Amino acid sequence: MEKKIAVIGLGKMGVDWVANLLEGGFEVYGFDASAQSRETVEQRLKKGLGWIAKKRKAGEENFVESAYSRFHLLDSEEAFLEKAKSASIFLEVVYEDLKLKCQLFERFIPPLPSEVIVWTNTSSLSIATMAEASGRPEKFLGTHGMNPVYQMPGVEVVVHEKLSDSTLQQTLKILEELGKITFVAADVPGFWVNKQLIPFMLEAVRALERGEIRVEDGDVGLKTCLGHPQGVFKLADFIGIDTFYRVAVAMYLATQDPRYYPPALLARLFQREEWGVKTSKGFYEWDGFKPKGPRDFKDFQFQDASTVLLVP
């Protein structure tokens, strides 16, 4: 298989995927509809490649520049689609919106050669629905990378009834050659990881909302007693409050399970665009990737029946 891949969506997850793919020797064609994302992609991508150089490529001179030279940023859908026709894999990494993703697949996949494999990085949405929208369900599957992709080895490979075994095996082989540890999950809301994780995280936010715990104490408790590497509130800030909220909403709409209904405090953070590391404020205040300190949510807790948390 020729090592060329087309990646649409160059936000945090998309750029992290690109860094990992470049490390693995792929030629990458990238596009994002956002001009701001395109303008900042070089800086963000080289930051990820710099981490890889320091941690896994010590002694390899010019690794960052050599890897970056295989990344080709396209500035229009038309130019991107033309380059995508020469790729062996099409990877979608736009934000969690099923309608948006289906529209994207309906537009981009039919013109591609029939042998192109389609990956989606969704963390909770129906793979079967998107696979049908693509017009080639036998070549379509989920590859849910963990954040940050180039640091976290696990990839959740999500299958559905119409997926061909050859596509699955090709995907597993490619990901393992990238140094990923793969595991196969069923196409249910949240798949395996988020089906376990999201209710846990939402209950932590509810405890904060009720005044039962403070941010720092909550994370210290989980780190020292349950072996969590960073705790639930810091994890939420790294994932992104916007992504956390969207995943919870998507899972609630798919299941009507009240465990997935976002607490008012989470909705407030989403509404105010206090999205964690990416906006320098979430459950913690941030200076880049360094936490400046936890925030005090005492004024945002339910105190009595007159409390309304969604007031700006």
Q: What does the pLDDT average to over 204-231?
A: 95
Q: What does the pLDDT average to over 117-130?
A: 96
Q: What does the pLDDT average to over 153-162?
A: 98
Whether 8 contacts 80, CB under 8 Å: yes
Q: What is the pLDDT of residue 171?
A: 98
pLDDT in tens, 245-262: 999 999 999 999 999 999
Is the pLDDT reported for residue 310 higher than 80?
Answer: no
Contacting residues for 229 by C-beta, under 8 A, at least 6 apart = 223
pLDDT in tens, 22-58: 999 999 999 999 999 999 999 999 999 999 999 999 8
Give me 280's structure tokens. Answer: 């320098």
Give me 199's structure tokens. Answer: 């209710």
CATH topology agreement for domains 4-186 and 193-297: no
Q: Which architecture characterizes domain 193-297 according to CATH?
A: Orthogonal Bundle (1.10)
* pTM, two decimal places: 0.89
Give me 43's structure tokens. Answer: 């800086």
Q: What is the pLDDT of residue 305?
A: 79
Q: What is the pLDDT of residue 311?
A: 59
CA 262, 268, 271, 272 dihedral sign is negative
**Residue ranges covered by each domain of the chain:** 4-186, 193-297
CATH code that applies to domain 4-186: 3.40.50.720
Is the pLDDT reported for residue 2 higher than 90?
Answer: no
